[in-house]
A and B are shown apart, each in its own frame.
Chain A
Amino acid sequence: MNLLQPLVLIVLVLGVALTITAYLTWLERKIAARFQNRVGPYFVGYPHGWLQPLADVVKLMSKEDIVPFHADRFLFNLAPYLVMVPALLGFAFIPVADKLAVVDHPFSLLFFLAFASLSLLGIFAAGWASNNKYALLSALRMVAMLASYEVPLVLSLLVPALLAGSFQLTAIVEAQRALPFVLKPVVGQIAFLVFLIAALAEGNKSPLDLTEAESELIAGYNIEYSGMKFALFYAGEYAHTFAITGLAATVFLGGHLGPAFLPGWIWLILKMLFVFLLMLWVRWSMLRLRIDQALMLNWKVLFPLSLANLFLAAYWVIYRGGAA
């Protein structure tokens, strides 16, 4: 029994996460279409093409698996998994109910971030191994971008940890029982905003999608990938984004907490979708920044802002005498 329970939990969390990730692609296409006066997928599956993700998977599976000439075969084949697996591992740390997460470690917030950063390796490996100049440029951009955006991301995530007095995600959720951290005056809002912007960069979303930069680098690191390997990248990116929104919902919006008429995990998913929609809204209405401008935004605006915000939060905590 003791062994079975975590296993069931893993299967449940992973199953729900993967299903939702698949449907996020459909959701994004539908919503983007609405932004643009279009209809979006419509013909595969009766109401509003709901079978489209399935059709996409079938199509991608039936495609030829091409490894480019002179590519580093080992790295080339490994890279999609290096992107997909860490993204899915992130879900393990998200609390789905009271004191319940697949892995409820005292430092689960840091573990989440560590795994989220691992996908960088996969993307860099893909760019390097493809033997393609565009992919290489994209991989180099990726390192510059993520290495810098990780800083404000972590700094803004330290604020909830500080307010809750713990790195344990379940404890952070518990600390928000009275008030979600996003509603904490000033510090909470700044931290959430900085986190959202950094998450756009982490998840490769416009206006900070420089790694993919379709108009310059033609999709960047995954330019040489096709078929299922491409699908893994694609799904990995969405899983990564979804995990990040899960983190946002957990540390800022109170995670699974909510009025009792809905179960906790539904609240969690709703909050995640809310954050995802926020990101979509930004993504589909903004143009892209240039690489130097993006880094400038990070080091000159987000980094000082999040650092000052962290000090403000620390002062608040000390002034109030211990964690809120």
Chain B
Amino acid sequence: MKTTEDVRIVEKEFGELALNMGPQHPSTHGVLRMVLHLRGETVARAEPVIGYLHRGVEKLSENLGYDQLAPIFERDDYLAPTANSLAYVLTVEALAEIEVPPRAKYLRTLMAEMQRLTSHLVWLGTFGLDLGGALGGGTTLFMYCFREREKFLDFFEAWTGTRFHTNLNLIGGARYDLSDALRRRAEQLIDDLERILPELRSMTGDTPIFQERTQGVGVIPRDLALSVGVTGPVLRASGVPLDLRKVAPYDAYEDVAFEVPVRTTGDAYARYEVRMEEMVQSIRIIRQLLENLPSGPIFSRKPLKNPRALRVKEGEAYRAVESPRGELGFYIVSDGSWKPHRLKINAPSFANLQVVPHIVPGHLVADVVAILGSLDPVLGDVDR
């Protein structure tokens, strides 16, 4: 860790300019701070500084009952809230050996995939902002993406009563059932998005400016990706076909057919392509889920009255889901009481951010923004 004194000396000796990017900066996707050491406009060294959004949920969770915790974790990765609580309830279910009815499994998967779509739409829109700025085509792309996302949020509101932090996942099932009318609306929704996706593509990946800005920028070679431990679309863009939905299926992923998009170039454009492909695959998954939605109960336990009633037997467990950003895992140590003894969140954004100091040097300031945007970190997920 460099002190400010060191930075000043570096500036004098090597003619480097230390530029503080963030924590208040439009393109650091929240409160990430980057100390960039510039020679001209080329970055010589970059240090990400995190911790501006630390809320201590891991410590907080040692003082709340198991059934009270899922909504709190939904606030971690605030672009895909359901992935957090899904990973959590899967872990507790494994610890407490609670069965989940098939319909609930399908509903939870459905919500996870829909939020993958909304999360990727936010990523695409903000990526446009990073590349295009607030006073240009970037905002146009941003608005188009948010228009599509808004339809999904409206659907979530109709389904669960909340637009965003849907709180669908319960230990042992799902909280809200899906009526037939809502099911038809969901089908309409993904049909619409499928029609819009080529349009969004034509505004981004098919334009020469977008390709110029992303191809060959922020290349993460396969070795670096594996040694740093990046995950999710970032890893798959570097040629490693690791997707937890395929290699360790949870909930209803065993029953659906889908492909894992992989690219080998590892640059920002590859990450863009992987995410765009993932959206197509998500639509495919959602269509299958809606078609084969089993009937039956959605909750396997007694109705919840006392949130502290659930006691989990002693032991430890780790379960992970494929969140839109990668492997999101929960490690819980239980001492047999009504609350976790210790809980650790394995956050994908944190893992992906580790690669920044390795790939940013040598790029221009504008590329730093493009690289950050292509990594898609969510600071709530990084700091927890």
Contacts and interface: CB of A to CB of B under 8 A. Distances in A.
Given A137-B365, A290-B213, A291-B41, A37 B143 contact: yes
Interface residues of B, number: 37
B207 interface: yes
Interface in B110-135: 128-135
B129 A290 contact: no
B137 A133 contact: no
A214 B209 contact: no
B17 interface: yes
Contacts of B27: 215-216
A293 B209 CA distance: 9
B239 interface: no
A37 B369 CA distance: 26
A324 B321 CA distance: 73
A307 B348 CA distance: 53
B136 A36 contact: no
A285 interface: yes
Interface in B358-384: 364-369
A283 B140 CA distance: 10
Contacts of A178: none
A287 B136 contact: yes
A207 B209 CA distance: 9
B346 interface: no
A40 to B, nearest CB: 12
A235 to B, nearest CB: 15
Contacts of B131: 215, 287-288
Contacts of B129: 215
Contacts of B140: 32, 35-36, 284-285
Contact of B41 (A36, A137, A286, A287): A137
B139 A216 contact: no
B147 interface: yes
A214 B213 contact: no
A212 B133 CA distance: 9
B136 A283 contact: yes
A206 interface: yes
A289 B209 contact: yes
Contact of B137 (A213, A285, A293): A285
B375 to A, nearest CB: 15
Contact of B210 (A141, A210, A218, A287): A287
A215 B132 contact: yes
B365 A217 contact: yes
Contacts of B138: 206, 215, 287-288
A291 B366 contact: yes
B102 to A, nearest CB: 40
B147 A209 contact: no
A292 interface: yes
A36 B365 contact: no
Contacts of A212: 133, 135
Contacts of A292: 364
Nearest to A28: B135
B140 to A, nearest CB: 5
A213 B366 contact: yes
A271 to B, nearest CB: 24
A99 interface: no
Determine which residue in A205, A206, A213, A285 has the highest number of CB atoms from chain B within 10 A of its CB, and name it: A206
Given A37-B144, A209-B136, A215 B209 contact: no
B206 to A, nearest CB: 12
B334 to A, nearest CB: 45
A218 B137 contact: no
B19 A288 contact: no
Contacts of B141: 287
B26 A36 contact: no
Given A37-B147, A209-B135, A287 B207 contact: yes
A287 B365 contact: no
Interface in A203-232: 205-207, 209-210, 212-218
Contacts of A134: 19
B366 A287 contact: no
A283 B368 CA distance: 23
Interface in A182-216: 205-207, 209-210, 212-216
B369 A216 contact: yes
Nearest to A36: B143
A59 interface: no
Given A206-B137, A284-B140, A290 B132 contact: no
A38 interface: yes
Given A133-B17, A216-B366, A292-B364, A286 B137 contact: yes
Contact of A290 (B19, B136, B367): B367
A218 B25 contact: yes
Determine which residue in B133, B143, B210, B365 has the highest number of CB atoms from chain A within 10 A of its CB, and name it: B133
Determine which residue in A38, A141, A210, A288 has the highest number of CB atoms from chain B within 10 A of its CB, and name it: A288
Contact of B143 (A38, A205, A216, A218): A38
Nearest to A133: B19
Given A36-B143, A37-B147, A207-B209, A288 B26 contact: no
B137 A207 contact: yes
Given A287-B128, A291-B364, A293-B212, A36 B139 contact: yes
Contacts of A287: 128, 131-132, 136-138, 141, 204, 207, 209-210, 213
Nearest to B128: A287
Given A289-B213, A290-B367, A207 B17 contact: no
A283 B137 contact: yes
Interface string A269-311: 0000000000000011111111111000000000000000000
B366 A290 contact: yes
A201 B207 CA distance: 19
Nearest to A217: B365
Interface of A: 32, 35-38, 133-134, 137, 141, 205-207, 209-210, 212-218, 283-293
Closest 7 A/B residue pairs (Cβ): A206-B136, A214-B133, A287-B132, A36-B143, A286-B137, A215-B27, A287-B131
12 contacts: A210-B366, A212-B135, A215-B27, A215-B132, A215-B369, A217-B365, A287-B204, A288-B366, A289-B212, A290-B366, A290-B367, A291-B366
Given A209-B135, A213-B133, A292-B364, 11 more contacts: A38-B143, A133-B17, A206-B132, A207-B136, A285-B140, A287-B136, A287-B137, A287-B141, A287-B213, A288-B213, A291-B364
